[in-house]
Amino acid sequence: MMDKNLTIQSLLLKWFRHHGSRSIPQIKIACENLNTSFSTGIKYPLFLFFMPLVRKGYVEFIGHGKYQPGPPAIIYNKKDEVSTAMNLSDSQVEYIQKNVPEVKKLNLFRTIRFKSRFRDLKRICKNLNIDYTDNNIIRFLSEFPKLTDVISQYKKAPFSHYEYHFDVFQHSWINNKKQFRLGIHKAAKDAQQYFFRMNKDVWLKIPRYEVNPDSRYICETYQALLENRPFIYYDEIEEFLKIQTISIPILIERVLRIPSLHMEQQFFRNHKEQVYQNISMSAFRQLNRIFSNGIKIL
């Protein structure tokens, strides 16, 4: 199933690159058509086929519920002198293949890796008119605010009876029989507007998906932290971060991918567990700040 899913995702990415900007309803139809064509029988093709493209940086949110192919990018691993290029045009890929001696084979998503010294990379980037970045993620993470600070900026909502509460570990809505539950709520079964309860007296309105697709994942992650159940772990010796069950914010996941982009086998992910490699202790400290010191050290 995993290989089939990757094939479907690569076809969806080709569709994006052909059409350019697409709305959520258009993307949903494309995912459903692919789901039918490949007879996968899955229930939510939009999230299984489309969201990985967003999380990997192949597709970008551009506002008003629309997405388009991500911009070209090159990440440089100084230690191994390996560059990873993604979202390149056909002509840019052809240039690298013709002018760089050690080029890895293109993967399904047209990500290409090649060996290059730093001065050679600068020349390549200049000729391709692409900026490069190194794989040091500490400076990126240092710019992220704590999740609690982000959620606190959401608009306040009046208290009401919210019938359903979201179970972040089971990924399901449950009837809100208990009066005091922190986290994500909605008023009715079919409601599309969600609310976040920060404490007994503070309710906040979660921005809708078409306004900010990351707001729901920010809230889910913070709710998991509030429930004080272990779900995120750090191995100091092996330098990897393991996250179970929870889908962390999209932008943070993109950053966590960077240190291992140069590797053929980057990380393992299924619906229950994600593993991110080459996460230094300095990066861990920034992550632990973002996640309110909720990361458990193995």
pLDDT of 140 > 60? The answer is: yes
Place of tokens 């208290």: 159
Band (pLDDT 50/70/90 cuts) for residue 267 is low
- What's residue 105's pLDDT? 82
Q: Which whole number is the average pLDDT over 206-220?
A: 95
- Does residue 3 or residue 218 have the better pLDDT? 218
Q: Which among 242, 233, 292, 236 is positioned nearest to 272, based on CA atoms?
A: 242
Let me know: does 283 contact 141? Beta carbons within 8 Å: yes
- The structure tokens listed for 23 are 């709305």
Q: Which among 201, 245, 242 is positioned nearest to 223, based on CA atoms?
A: 245
Q: Which whole number is the average pLDDT over 8-34?
A: 96
Measure the CA–CA gap between 113 and 284, rounded to whole angstroms: 26
Band (pLDDT 50/70/90 cuts) for residue 41 is confident
* Span of 107-111, 118-122, 175-179, 250-254 with lowest mean pLDDT: 175-179
Residues 6 or more apart in contact with residue 117 via CB below 8 angstroms: 81
Entry pTM: 0.93
